[in-house]
Amino acid sequence: MDSMPNSPAEKMGITAGDIIISINNQPIRGLEDIINFFQNYNNYIWVETIDIFGKRKVYEYRDYQNGIDELGILTIPKYSFNVPIIEDRGGLFNIIKSKFRKQ
């Protein structure tokens, strides 16, 4: 998992590799649980995570004016066979790299 720029998750400090355990004490077992949680209006959330070192953390976020309708996270797909693989075969990446290469 990773946070989108300027999202509630990023503002809370949730980082790449964090695993969400619960939101507002509701257990999270998968993406469906997160989607279901945000079906209701929320203006204050707390998210419990486990980081890549196994340490539990709790993050809080408030938005009383606009409410919170999503976390703004990128998740790892449940089934990797549905994930497109993008392979750069030397096209754009090499062009960009050559522009910055010291001669």
For position 69, what pLDDT does the model report?
92
Helix (H, G, I), strand (E, B) or coil at 50: strand
Domain chopping of the chain, boundaries: 2-100
Place of tokens 């890549």: 52
Superfamily of domain 2-100: PDZ domain (2.30.42.10)
Q: Maximum distance among all alpha carbons in the chain?
A: 57
Give the SS3 label for residue 51.
Answer: coil
pLDDT in tens, the chain (103 residues): 678 889 999 999 999 889 999 999 999 998 889 999 999 889 999 999 999 899 999 999 999 999 999 999 887 766 655 555 555 555 655 666 666 665 5
Q: d(Cα 102, Cα 23) in Å, to the nearest integer?
A: 49
The model scores a pTM over 0.85:
no
